[in-house]
Amino acid sequence: MTASRVLVLNSGSSSVKYQLLDMSDSSRLAAGLVERIGEQTSRLKHTCLTTGDTREHTGPIADHEAALKAVAEELGRDGLGLDSPELAAIGHRVVHGGMFFTEPTVVDDEVIAEIERLIPVAPLHNPANLTGIRTARALRPDLPQVAVFDTAFHTTMPESAARYAIDPKIADRHRIRRYGFHGTSHAYVSRETARLLGRAPQDVNVIVLHLGNGASASAVRGGRCVDTSMGLTPLEGLVMGTRSGDLDPAVIFHLARVGGMSMDEIDTLLNKRSGLFGLCGDNDMREIRRRIDESDEEAALAFDIYIHRLKKYIGAYYAVLGTVDAVVFTAGVGENAAPVREAAAAGLEGLGLAVDPELNAVRADVARLISPKDARVAVAVVPTDEELEIATQTYALVGKNN
Ligand code: ADP
């Protein structure tokens, strides 16, 4: 029997999301989430996707090790345990791979040490990702563990796009450059867009707009990323749910010197209390649209600022790419919010971009075109699937050895 299952783990600071996939047909066998790890009210929600059974437990789960053991137990109850010979590998989402990791990588001690060395540039994410890797390794030391990096897809960016215009010696000493994030999604969605167009990825230029709570845009030429909107950290670029995106760096000096705020306070302000939430008190696009329908001016201005930034990036990446075959919307907002897609494309007919109102209004969870038939540039909605992409990359790496 060939082992064809891959467990995908996404370990956050207080949560673990997981999916078990069978890569013989890319089907999903189980999925779930452990949240509030370390609190009294931890919660595990597990769904067996072959039977549709869902189980939920609330109660203290002390740490990631306990969380993974609980997940293993739930999988075991469905006959899908971590001890199964059908499990080929565990694929881990790792947020920051720096310049070192350009591809998915089988985890060994040296890989762990390098992910650790990147903690200064990813202080929130990499420690949690590492905890997940270490715990999974301890549970199944014999099983290949693969790290799939959010930054890897963007390592093809040319230096002209990846470097900030600061002294390179200082930049290099502190590993300061534009890394980009959401790479697993940008990779998957740009490839699926080529498939939707019936063309090979190397033959198309695509602008990908990943609009979730975090949001980023990327310019993909022939399947390779040439620019992306997030930078050293996920703070740069588009207006997001709670992050400001681009701003004049002098705002930070001003808040410190004139506003008397500490660096930590400014960090929290820009990452957690800005963006749509900072502008109007809501970061959920559904709520913002509902408020706009009730003539709420604050929500309308937040929406306009969000769209203005999005348009600027579409224009910028159009210029970076020279010719564009498709602009594609993905993630929670991109896949669901027709008014965002309509507003982002409005007025861009000169660039060959247009959205067909009827196609745009269709609600569906499949990849689809929303541009008029004769459009010069295709506009598409392509649901992202980061777990499938992590599983695919993991299986491609270890499947060879099976
Ligand atoms: P993340 O993975 O970054 O947490 P998601 O890609 O799941 O984010 O996107 C979450 C966001 O998607 C929500 O905050 C909300 O703004 C938006 N969203 C989800 N469903 C809808 C919908 N039906 N209409 C408009 N926006 C939606």
275: left (phi over 0), alpha (psi -120 to 50) or beta: left
CA 318/CA 310 separation, integer angstroms: 12
Provide the pLDDT confidence category of residue 400 given band limits of 50, 70 and 90: low
CA of 297 to the centre of ligand 1 (A): 22
Number of H helices, E strands in the chain: 15, 14
- In this structure, the answer to whether residues 319 and 217 fall within a common structural domain is yes
**Residue 48 is part of a domain; what is its CATH number?**
3.30.420.40
**Residue 301 predicted with pLDDT over 90:** yes
Largest separation between any pair of C-alpha atoms in the chain? 67
Query: Which letter does DSSP use for residue 236 in this model?
Result: S
Q: Which residues contact 183 (CB under 8 A, 6 or more apart)?
A: 149, 150, 151, 152, 153, 154, 225, 228
Tell me the average pLDDT across 80-94.
94
* Prediction pTM value: 0.95
CA 125/CA 181 separation, integer angstroms: 12
Catalytic option among 22, 78, 150, 282: 150
pLDDT at res. 123? 85
pLDDT at res. 188? 97
**Lowest mean pLDDT, pick from 113-122, 153-162, 201-210:** 113-122
Does 157 reside within a domain? Answer: no
**Lowest mean pLDDT, pick from 10-14, 178-182, 267-271, 336-340:** 10-14
Tally of domains within the chain:
2
CA of 174 to the centre of ligand 1 (A): 34
Does 165 reside within a domain? Answer: no
Does 173 reside within a domain? Answer: no
Which structural domain range is residue 269 located in?
A: 199-386
Q: Is 281 helix (H, G, I), strand (E, B) or coil?
A: coil
Does 276 reside within a domain? Answer: yes
Scored b (16 or more CB within 10 A) or e, 163-177 reads eeeeeeeeeeeebbb
Give the residue, by CA position, lying nearest to ligand 1 atom 14. 284
pLDDT at res. 323? 97
Query: Phi and psi for 376 in degrees, rounded to 5?
Result: -70, -40
- In this structure, the answer to whether residues 79 and 222 fall within a common structural domain is no
Instruction: Give the number of C-alpha atoms closer than 13 A to the C-alpha of residue 24, restricted to the C-beta side.
Output: 10
What is the CB < 6 Å shell around ligand 1?
212-214, 241, 283-286, 331-333, 336-337
Averaged pLDDT score across all residues of the chain: 95
- In this structure, the answer to whether residues 271 and 382 fall within a common structural domain is yes
**What is the CB neighbour count within 10 angstroms for residue 372?**
13
CA of 209 to the centre of ligand 1 (A): 13
- In this structure, the answer to whether residues 211 and 139 fall within a common structural domain is no
- Percentage with pLDDT > 70 across the chain: 99
Tokens of 366: 């499949």
**Residue 182 predicted with pLDDT over 60:** yes
**Neighbour-count burial of 336, counting CB atoms closer than 10 A to its CB (0-12 exposed, 13-18 middle, 19+ buried):** middle
**Residue 401 predicted with pLDDT over 60:** no
pLDDT at res. 10? 93
| Apex 334 CA angle, 332 and 339, nearest 5 | 115
**Across-strand partners of 395?**
none
What are the pLDDT digits (tens) for 227-264?
999 999 999 999 999 999 999 999 999 999 999 999 99
Closest atom, ligand 1, to C-alpha of 214? 3
**Residue 148 predicted with pLDDT over 60:** yes
pLDDT at res. 12? 86
Tell me the average pLDDT across 78-84.
91
